[in-house]
Structure 1
Amino acid sequence: MLLSRTVMSLKPQFSKSHILTAVSSVQGTQAVPPNLVELYLDYNCRFSYKIFQKWDDAKLFDKETLSKYNLAFRFNHVIQPWHPFGTLVHELGIVAGSLKPELFWKYSMVLFHDSKELWTEEYTQSKTTIELYKELSEHCEKHTGLKADVVYDKLNGSGKDDTTKAIKYFTRYHRQNGVHMTPSIAVNGIILGNIESSTDTNKVLEIIQAQTA
């Protein structure tokens, strides 16, 4: 598939999981590169959850919308330091995406929901990191079918180094682009301050179209 340089700036290992496009690389080529909409999100941020759920409900992530507006969506991990459990959850999302790329966006919705409803600060404070990694691995198996022991190895075993490198990659990416707050939205590399979690999705599409005209 022919993609813009901005889309392809993502490490190839994340392209299948973290980028949504209307046409897969197997199906053919696209004459005009898609306009890239980047979502800078934190699983532990309730406003990130709000915008992700709102856009999903409005079918912005569906292939029909991507095709109609010639868009690609990219998920960028932004771990906020005031959310102590955030690193572990983002590690889990990255691991799930590496093992089952096709489920990354769907599983991300679950991670947003459970970070708000299940993994409260009080809940996580009483547990060790090893206990939390084991629970996250079991959570992943329940929702994706991936074996918990395989996931745990990536989180806190022989695959830990690769997962840490992925966290460092996304952290360097959002820092070099000056993104510190979540959610933040960029279109073709330009951060847009007029798209917030409260912005109506029809207005979101209008703003995106104005940036891609």
Structure 2
Amino acid sequence: MANDWHADPLVWGNGPRLFEIFLEPTCPFSVKTFHKLDDFLAQAGESNVRVQLWLQSQPWHLLSPIVTRAIVAASTLDGGKETAKKVMAAVADHREEFVFENHCTGPNRSVTPNDILKRLEDYSGVALTHAFEIPDLDSALKRHAKYARQNGIHSSPTFMVDGLVDPGMGSGDDVSEWVKRFQ
């Protein structure tokens, strides 16, 4: 496979203020956060703020590494970040298909990585397998992990405003509360 791929950064908006969010795609609190992002950009104004998502795979979400790799793989395809967003939306909208019950039991214990990829492709409409198999795709995944570690991020969702962690922000906040931090 050629090394001419590029993982599109998961950044929306073009404003001077930076809102970075660390998400674990199968985490219920990250899903709640993900569903608020378009509304946040609309309210804050895409010319006022940039939203950058960092994927934060967590070991207690046992299928997380497969799902995370698939999202980064999607960002290498036509459409880049928008294609990755479609895959994230598929996970968010069908979360139970990508997690274990109580982090350790249930029918998903019998699935294989290929089953997870097939589900992601079916729900998102994105053909992921070829991109998932990019041999050095892990370099893009490592950028996400390294950046999180450098900033002391250990769980998701975690929010950073202009480069500083904001421990007062949460997935349960109304979008208007997030917008106030950028006015």
TM-score w.r.t. length of structure 2: 0.82
Shift of 1:180: 0.6
- Mapping for residues 62-101 of structure 1, pairs under 5 Å: 62=42, 65-67=45-47, 70-99=48-77, 100-101=79-80
Give 1:196's aligned residue: 170
Report matched runs for 1:165-204 at 5 Å. Answer: 165-204=139-178
Residue 38 of structure 1 is matched in structure 2 by 20
Distance (Å, rounded) in 2 between the aligned partners of 1:143 and 1:114: 8
Matched, 1:154 2:131: yes
Deviation at 1:35, TM superposition (A): 1.0
* Cα shift at 1:19: 0.8
Note the residue ranges of structure 1 that are not aligned, 5 or more in a row: 1-12, 23-32
- In structure 2, C-alpha distance between the alignment counterparts of 1:200 and 1:146, rounded to whole Å: 31
Distance 1:181 1:207 in 2: 21
Please say if residues 43 and 179 of structure 2, whose CA atoms lie closer than 8 Å, have aligned partners that are also in contact. Answer: no
Contact 2:20 2:161 in 1 (8 A): yes
Measure, in 1, the Cα distance between the counterparts of 2:59 and 2:51: 25
| Post-superposition offset of 1:94 | 0.5
CA RMSD of aligned residues (A): 2.3
> Contact 1:92–1:136 at 8 Å: present in 2 too?
no
The two structures have a TM-score, normalised by structure 1, of 0.71
Quick check: which one's helix share is greater?
A: 1
Q: Distance in 1 between matches of 2:58 and 2:125?
A: 28
Q: Which moved more, 1:101-110 or 1:177-186?
A: 101-110
In structure 2, the gaps of 5 or more residues are 1-5, 101-105
Give, in angstroms, the shift of residue 48 of structure 1: 0.7
Shift of 1:103: 2.3
Rg larger in 1 or in 2? Answer: 1
- Residue 98 of structure 2 corresponds to which residue in structure 1? 119
The 8 Å contact of residues 60 and 66 in structure 1, kept in 2 or not, is answered as no
Cα distance in 2 between the residues matched to 1:162 and 1:63: 38
Q: Does 1:53 align with 2:35?
A: yes
> Post-superposition shift, 1:179?
0.5
